[in-house]
Amino acid sequence: MHSFMNAKAMAKLLRQALGERHIDITHSDSLELVSRQFGFANWNMLSARIDRAIAGSGPLPDGWFKAGKSPQLYDTRIDQENGATALIASRPDLLDEVRGDDFCTIMQSVDAEAFRHRRMRLAGELRTEDVGTGATVWFRIDGAGGTLLFDNLELQRPDGPLVGTQDWAERSVVFDVPDTALSLHYGFFLKGTGRCWARRFSLVEVDASVPTNSRKGPVLPRPTNLDFGRPAAH
């Protein structure tokens, strides 16, 4: 089911369909027609409504911004009622459109120069309410050719994403920052429906006693149980 957030794509399809029937209209005319289908007087009013939906319902903490696969489906803001936390919440009016792989993140990007050759631990505390797919922190290091290191804990058991309703819990990712790193990106995200609060983020150097995430997760030392004959231990 389409919503007003899909208006531009719908206008393009409408114009193509009419063109196949030898009815030529401009792109602007197509946008105006779609706007009226959604009950708006004109495209300017619908466009302003889309911009408000993308921006969310309130200001974010300084230095942080909203991103993700489908940020228009989520509200984001500072939640002062819960101790100056940051909140991501699926929009009540758009719940029918949220799929399990839709997600929104509140994130930050910084220059990597001061962190090269250092083992850095990104950590934050999360609390969730009625989360469908999961909520977690994530950390990515980029170089000239793209992503060098990335982890969002989705393969971690335990200490992976929070699901359902859970009280404050810390999650962290540890990386050795390569000398080819250009930028660091990190934050927390909500995937699917629900609400997630975050607080007490930190990015600090740790010593060699703290293992990096490259040593964690379901990475086996050698191929194992390829015939599926041995059940997992409980």
Handedness of CA 150, 71, 1, 96 (dihedral sign): positive
Q: Which residue has the higher pLDDT, 81 or 185?
A: 185
At residue 1, the pLDDT reads: 47
Q: Three-class SS of residue 220?
A: coil
> Is-contact 202 113, C-beta < 8 A?
no
Distance CA 4, CA 35 (A): 8
pLDDT band at 215 (very low <50, low <70, confident <90, very high): very low
Give the tens place of pLDDT for each residue, 21-41: 999 999 999 999 998 988 889
Give the tens place of pLDDT for each residue, 74-88: 999 988 766 679 999
pLDDT band at 95 (very low <50, low <70, confident <90, very high): confident
Q: Percent of the chain scored above 90 by pLDDT? A: 63
User: Looking at residues 204-216, what average pLDDT do you find?
Assistant: 83
Unique residue bearing structure tokens 């699901």: 163
Q: Is the pLDDT of residue 49 over 80?
A: no
* pTM > 0.75: yes or no: no
At residue 61, the pLDDT reads: 87
Distance CA 142, CA 78 (A): 28
CA-based nearest residue to 82, from 160, 198, 171, 161: 198
Give the tens place of pLDDT for each residue, 170-184: 999 999 999 999 999
Beta bridge partners of 128: 166, 196
Domain spanning 57-215, CATH class: mainly beta
pLDDT band at 59 (very low <50, low <70, confident <90, very high): confident
Q: Three-class SS of residue 202?
A: strand
Beta bridge partners of 119: 176
User: Looking at residues 31-55, what average pLDDT do you find?
Assistant: 81
Q: Is 168 exposed, middle or buried (0-12, 13-18, 19+ CB in 10 A)?
A: middle
CA-based nearest residue to 137, from 180, 208, 86: 86
User: Looking at residues 202-215, what average pLDDT do you find?
Assistant: 87
Tokens representing 65 are 């911004």
Distance CA 26, CA 32 (A): 10
Tokens representing 114 are 């001061």
Of 149-153, 155-159, 229-233, the range with the lowest mean pLDDT is 229-233
At residue 216, the pLDDT reads: 45
Of 8-17, 119-128, 224-233, the range with the lowest mean pLDDT is 224-233
At residue 114, the pLDDT reads: 95
